[in-house]
Amino acid sequence: MTNLRSNFEPGTSRWATRRAQWLALGLSDEDMIKPKIAIVNSSSQLAICFSHLDEIARRAKRAIERAGGVAFEVRTAAPSDFITSAGHRGGYILSARDLITNDIEVAVEGALLDGMLCLASCDKTAPGQLMAAARLDIPTIIVACGYQPSGTYRGRHCDIEDVFLAAGHVANGRLTVDELAEMSANAVLGPGVCAGMGTANTMHLACEALGMALPGSTPVRANSEPMWRAVEEASKRIVELVAAGLRPRDILTPEAFVNAVTTVLSVSGSINSVKHLQAVAAEAECGADVYRLFESLADRVPLLTAVRPNGEAPIEEFEDAGGTRAVMKQLEPLLEGGALTVTGRTVAQNLAGVAVAGEETIRPPARAFARRPAIVVIHGSLAPDGGIVKLAVADDRRLDFAGPAVVFGSPAEALDGVRGGRVKPGQVVVLRGQGPTGSPGMGMASQLVFALDGAGLTGHVAVVTDGQLSGLVNKGIVVGEISPEAARGGPLALVRDGDMIRVDVPARTADLDVPAEELARRRAALQAPPPADEVGWLSIYRRLVRPLPEGAVLREARS
């Protein structure tokens, strides 16, 4: 395969110096002309979600070599929501997604490697890897590296999100520290991503629905036989993919994004998938408007499964019922069957002959769990460019709310407000300054939502925020990721205590009931934000990040 971009003309300086480096690494002259595959590994000992990736990378390297390629392991940032969120108000979480993309570009494009096998784990790794694949447009396969086993607490299922939610109850005396410690000790029993249909499993599923992961490979138990089998098959296939010249932009078409959004809607996936898929579409330059797809497809796509926390089914039951491939089989009439995938075949060809192993867990559309959307994109005078509401599968609560605003400028201030009794039933809690620019990097609003739950205020207040929310659990009427964000002069910046706010989820609106003349007066009086105190990565991110409807990708603003 001498026409590979990684091969240089013998006798040139580039050829000679690269040969010297690689001979010293143990490669042979025969290896020098083989397909050179990057194994993209976001390994870290900081978090259990990444702790098993090194062994996966080792086995993938051997499998690529058996398939006739040469593998080079490259490392990226490895953000974990529960670990990396501690510093700088959580700003390193979403921003790390784009750091992963740029890490990959530096290593893979700098060395002119021929293909990538990306080991996807925690929330930001899969979208970051997909973004890099779309940007570099070299043959790529995403390998989902599995979810963690969960435990029990006093006879009931207990996972990491149960712990996250329960922590909101301690401050209000509804749970003791000892009880929370017991839950924490039993929630995670091994490596892998959060169990349940959170952001990580949703994005693994989206990789398969997009056609960028092998059919039948998501979701999967970490370190299980099916996971190792998928690693072996993907390692072989990536070498074939380089030979075939099948590139991500051949796969990441508008039709592929229709399939991904349809599949995410059908499983009540994480709301974080909206901005991540939009970011991938932006890097692919394919013209897909993911936010609009979530709006236009919402009423057409039935809810086919009820995986925790949206229902009672554990993620293991969903996998055993057939996982993503089974969902797509049930959805087949709604999918773009002609979309190409990393197998070299279309979605329709991949689904031919597929049987659903558990039709009580992954139901046919005729017996859907529900027919109203679980991810609702809303607009209105408070959210001109959109906001997102996540609903549970069996959500039968009233989905409209009106009340006076109580405004907070940071999660810490909001938590103090809950503890101090400043938040009262009937109010709309406004948490602003948490968007991609304002935080920067998007602050996490879920602690506030869980604290309200711990205070017994779920259902008695609503929340609107430009921050992001947990991909798994939300409580009550919560409108997240409002755009434009407050830091970019969005209407959220103009809200004052006592202003009437109306949220109507069925009507898909969030409105600020303040006269236009008063809003204009407030806008004229807005103070410039204080000078940013970041240096390094977050200062670069704040300067370059685009708004959420553009995927919050990093781009210089066009004049």
CATH number at residue 447: 3.50.30.80
The answer to the question of residue 12 being in a domain is no
Average pLDDT over every residue of 421-426: 96
pLDDT tens digits along 274-321: 999 999 999 999 999 999 999 999 999 999 999 998 888 999 999 999
Average pLDDT over every residue of 109-116: 98
* Pair (117, 223) in one structural domain: yes
pLDDT tens digits along 424-450: 999 999 999 999 999 999 888 888 998
pLDDT of 532 over the 80 cut: no
* Pair (343, 393) in one structural domain: no
Distance of CA 451 to the CA centre of its chain: 23
Residue 2's pLDDT is what? 57
pLDDT tens digits along 134-177: 999 999 999 999 999 999 999 999 998 889 888 878 877 889 99
What are the E-state strand segments in 418-508?
428-431, 462-465, 477-483, 500-504
* Pair (519, 453) in one structural domain: yes
Neighbours of 63 (CB within 10 A): 21
Is 89:411 a contact under the CB 8 Å cutoff? yes
* Pair (346, 396) in one structural domain: no
The answer to the question of residue 327 being in a domain is yes
Instruction: Give the mean pLDDT of the chain.
Output: 94
pLDDT of 109 over the 60 cut: yes
Average pLDDT over every residue of 343-354: 98
Average pLDDT over every residue of 335-348: 98
The answer to the question of residue 169 being in a domain is no
| Active-site residue, selected from the candidate residues 42, 273, 439, 470 | 470
* Pair (210, 249) in one structural domain: yes
The answer to the question of residue 143 being in a domain is yes
Verify whether residue 296 is a known catalytic residue: no
* Pair (246, 337) in one structural domain: yes
* Pair (381, 345) in one structural domain: no
Residue 105's pLDDT is what? 98
* Pair (235, 319) in one structural domain: yes
167-181, 259-273, 371-385, range with the lowest pLDDT: 167-181
Residue 528's pLDDT is what? 79
Residue 3's pLDDT is what? 87
The answer to the question of residue 166 being in a domain is no
Average pLDDT over every residue of 318-341: 98
Of 341, 275, 239, the C-alpha closest to 131 is 275
* Pair (119, 251) in one structural domain: yes
Residue 394's pLDDT is what? 60
Cis peptide before 254 (omega within 30 of 0): no
pLDDT of 454 over the 80 cut: yes
* Pair (447, 313) in one structural domain: no
The one-letter code for the residue type at 504 is D
Total number of domains in the chain: 2
pLDDT of 198 over the 70 cut: yes
Single residue among 311, 336, 351 that ends a domain in this structure: 351
* Pair (412, 315) in one structural domain: no
Q: 500-504 and 509-513: which strand pairing?
A: antiparallel
The answer to the question of residue 230 being in a domain is yes
The answer to the question of residue 452 being in a domain is yes
* Pair (251, 397) in one structural domain: no
Q: 477-483 and 156-158: which strand pairing?
A: unpaired
The answer to the question of residue 456 being in a domain is yes
Range of the domain at 471: 375-530
Global pTM reads 0.96
| CATH classification at residue 130 | 3.40.50.2300
pLDDT tens digits along 461-517: 999 999 998 765 567 899 999 999 999 999 999 999 999 999 999 999 999 999 999
